Amino acid sequence: MKKIYAVLVLAGIAQVAAAADIVGNAKAAPAKIEMCIGCHGIPGYKATFPEVFQVPKIGGQSAKYIENALQGYKKGERKHPSMKGIATSLSDQDMADIAAYYAEQKQK
């Protein structure tokens, strides 16, 4: 049992270390943000699925916040069907690149 626990702990450490190695590259993001612009790039935009809500502007937001939000949608910790579908299609590197890009933008 101790060996199994040790293997699981080491696997968890390896995953954290791998995630820590990912650095966002804002210059790699323009080809990855097409899905974002349609909602997050329109001032005052309100989406109607699954209900009417004000879409948040993400330009200038913290990169860590954006990455955590995308990971939350991907894992199902945040609930929004459209965002879950988008986040599920992104790799960890994609998320880091998108987050770096939007962190450099200024909110308008």
Q: What's the CATH architecture for 23-104? A: Orthogonal Bundle (1.10)
pLDDT at 64: 97
pLDDT at 103: 97
pLDDT at 68: 97
Is-contact 96 65, C-beta < 8 A? no
Mean pLDDT, consecutive 10-residue stretches, the chain (108 aa), reads 60 54 95 93 85 90 97 96 95 98 83
DSSP code at position 5? H
Evaluate the CA torsion angle 21, 71, 88, 54 in order and state its sign: negative
pLDDT at 11: 56
pLDDT at 48: 82
pLDDT at 53: 85
Boundaries of every domain in the chain: 23-104
